[in-house]
C-alpha cells in the first residue's frame, strides 16, 4: 500500500493535534475528564499549579522511552511532536476562542468525537498522543489486539478511578466522553488497513 508523503504527514499531524486540542479544551472548560495521559493531566492540573500542557508533557516523558524502544525512532519523533503541539494548542486555545456558555453534555460528546477523530488521524500517519495510546498501538502491532478496545478499557479505568476526586455528574459525563472518543477509534481503526500498523 502506498505510504503518505512527508507533506501529507505534516498536514495530518497539524490537523489531528488541532482537533484533539479543541476537544480537550471543551473538556477543560466544563471540568470534565478524559482517559489516558490527557485525562491524568486534566485531573492533575486542577490540583497543581501547572497548566494542562505542562502536566501532559511531564506525564508523557516515560512513555516516550517505551515508544522509542518498542515502536522506533520515527514513531517516537512524531509522538513527541504531537504531544508538544497538543500541549501548546490547548494551553493557548483561549486566545482564539472565547466560550461564554458550553453545555456539559455537548462538551462530553463532541469533545470525545473531536479527540477520537484527531487521534485516528494521528494513528493513520504513524503518530500518537503518547501514554496508553503507545501501549494500545504496541499491543495491536505485536498481538493483533484492537487498539480501540485496549484504549477504551484503559480509559474507562482511569476515568472511573477519579470517583473520589470529582462530583458524580462530572464523572458520569466524563465516562460518556471517553466512550464517544473510543467508539470513533474502535469503529474506524482496524489492523492491516494502513501499512505499518498491522
Which DSSP state fits 102?
-
The SS3 of residue 72 is coil
pLDDT (0 to 100) of residue 185: 81
Q: Express each pLDDT in 85-142 by its tens digit.
A: 999 999 999 999 998 899 999 999 999 999 999 999 998 888 888 887 777 777 887 8
Sequence spans of domains, the chain: 6-188
CA distances from 69 to 6, 74, 130, 155 (A): 23, 11, 13, 23
pLDDT (0 to 100) of residue 191: 57
pLDDT (0 to 100) of residue 25: 96
**Rounded to two decimals, what is the model's pTM?**
0.84
Sign of CA dihedral 138, 155, 23, 148: positive
pLDDT band at 198 (very low <50, low <70, confident <90, very high): very low
Q: How far apart are CA 136 and CA 131, in angstroms?
A: 9
Q: What percent of the chain has pLDDT over 70?
A: 93
Count of residues making up the chain:
198
Amino acid at each position: 500500500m502506498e505510504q503518505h508523503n512527508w507533506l501529507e504527514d505534516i498536514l495530518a499531524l497539524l490537523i489531528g493535534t488541532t482537533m484533539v486540542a479543541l476537544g480537550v479544551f471543551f473538556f477543560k472548560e466544563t471540568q470534565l475528564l478524559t482517559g489516558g495521559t490527557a485525562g491524568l493531566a486534566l485531573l492533575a492540573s486542577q490540583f497543581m499549579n501547572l497548566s494542562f500542557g505542562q502536566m501532559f508533557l511531564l506525564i508523557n516523558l516515560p512513555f516516550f522511552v517505551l515508544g522509542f524502544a518498542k515502536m522506533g525512532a520515527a514513531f517516537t519523533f512524531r509522538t513527541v511532536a504531537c504531544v508538544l503541539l497538543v500541549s501548546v494548542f490547548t494551553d493557548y486555545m483561549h486566545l482564539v476562542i472565547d466560550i461564554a456558555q458550553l453545555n456539559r453534555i455537548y462538551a462530553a460528546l463532541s469533545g470525545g468525537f473531536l479527540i477520537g477523530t484527531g487521534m485516528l488521524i494521528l494513528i493513520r500517519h504513524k503518530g500518537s498522543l503518547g501514554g496508553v495510546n503507545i501501549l494500545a498501538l504496541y499491543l495491536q502491532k505485536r498481538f493483533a489486539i484492537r487498539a480501540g478496545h485496549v484504549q477504551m478499557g484503559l480509559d474507562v479505568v482511569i476515568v472511573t478511578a477519579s470517583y473520589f476526586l470529582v462530583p458524580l455528574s462530572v464523572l458520569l459525563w466524563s465516562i460518556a466522553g471517553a466512550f464517544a472518543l473510543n467508539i470513533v477509534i474502535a469503529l474506524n481503526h482496524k489492523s492491516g488497513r494502513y501499512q505499518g500498523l498491522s
